[in-house]
Amino acid sequence: MKKIILTGDRPTGRLHLGHYVGSLKRRVELQNSGEFDKVFIMIADAQALTDNADNPEKIRQNIIEVALDYLSCGLDPAKSTIFIQSQIAELCELTFYYMNLVTVSRLQRNPTVKAEIQMRNFETSIPVGFFTYPISQASDITAFKATTVPAGEDQEPMIEQTREIVRKFNSIYGETLVEPEILLPGNSACLRLPGTDGKAKMSKSLGNCIYLSDTEEEVRKKVMGMFTDPGHIKVEDPGKIEGNTVFTYLDAFCRPEHFAGYLPDYSGLDELKDHYRRGGLGDVKVKKFLNSILQEELEPIRQRRKEFEKDIPGVYNMLKEGTETARKVAARTLDEVRSAMKINYFDDHELIASQSDRFSR
């Protein structure tokens, strides 16, 4: 069986370090690994509209931001098909049929949707489109017969729901769809990168993000203002590592060679942590170390972004071509779905012949 990747992001803002370690960086590696027959990367604008119906301009503005973030991280349209969800009508049609295979109570049990409903204070006024977005996400994945969905752990319930839909569809209508698997980030610190304020997640509304497109100075300021251990007041105080954002980021970004370059007095991260726990290591020193590491990672991304920003019509054209390619693939799957469901009346010559027979008797 072919190995196919599909994944994507909602264009509700520029992409940040949480996206980068949680998914983006891995995608680029997977794209370049040669292990996959196809890679589809989707800008999920239709999904973004499920809870931004009153603000289409925000989504529209952020499509190009996300596309620039993709390209500057190294996603390459020669290797990956990058496309815009809303331009593929076939996805809506698949969703309409999948809806018959999912119960309301099953959707209500989806932990990610539950958390999002709480976060947005929807309570009883949940838009139906938002409530059912896991079904639409199953269409995104199955339309491309994706085997592999690289994503963060918050997407696990969506993949599970997709697998259930696939099994149900195949058991009723015959083997048609492919069951996908999620591919989680390898490093556990990357599963969910906290915000700079120590809150559980980077989120634009909390203002605790480091964006891939932040300037060097913006990144430095955010790092120097990061949440650490509130009990670590004087340098000589013993400090905590658990829940200390600076150390969580180091777990995600620090590699052994960074010590040789920036902190040669330490053999590695364990020794740095030990020193912090014992006391005698100040936050500023650790933050400066983290800043050097992040700048090293982000500088090439910033440089590439500047280049792509010089040709915005070219970026839209890349999206248009990607969308055309993706649409053909989705249309092929939809054809298969329609014939499996026996709603392909006009293509079904046997049907027409047998009905003709029946009425001429």
Q: Distance between CA atoms of 42 and 44, rounded to whole angstroms?
A: 6
**Sequence-distant (≥ 6) Cβ neighbours of residue 344 within 8 angstroms:** 335, 338
Shortest CB 34 distance to ligand TRP, Å: 22
Q: Return the number of the residue (72 or 161) whose C-beta is nearest ligand TRP.
A: 161
Shortest CB 124 distance to ligand TRP, Å: 23
9 belongs to the binding site for ligand TRP (CB under 6 A):
yes
65 belongs to the binding site for ligand TRP (CB under 6 A):
no
Q: Distance between CA atoms of 59 and 49, rounded to whole angstroms?
A: 7
Q: Distance between CA atoms of 72 and 93, rounded to whole angstroms?
A: 33
Shortest CB 33 distance to ligand TRP, Å: 19
151 belongs to the binding site for ligand TRP (CB under 6 A):
yes
- What would the two tokens of residue 345 be? 């009346």
Q: Return the number of the residue (137 or 244) whose C-beta is nearest ligand TRP.
A: 137
**DSSP string across 301-327:** HHHHHHHHHTTHHHHHHHHHHHHHHHH
* Contact characters 10-49, ligand TRP, x per CB under 6 A: x---------------------------------x--x--
Shortest CB 193 distance to ligand TRP, Å: 14
143 belongs to the binding site for ligand TRP (CB under 6 A):
no
Q: Distance between CA atoms of 16 and 209, rounded to whole angstroms?
A: 6
Q: Distance between CA atoms of 147 and 141, rounded to whole angstroms?
A: 8
For residue 94, which of 181, 37, 151, 176 has the smallest C-alpha distance?
Answer: 176
Among 45, 90, 140, 214, binds ligand TRP (CB under 6 A): 140
Binding positions for ligand TRP, rule: CB under 6 A: 6-10, 44, 47, 137, 140-141, 149, 151, 155
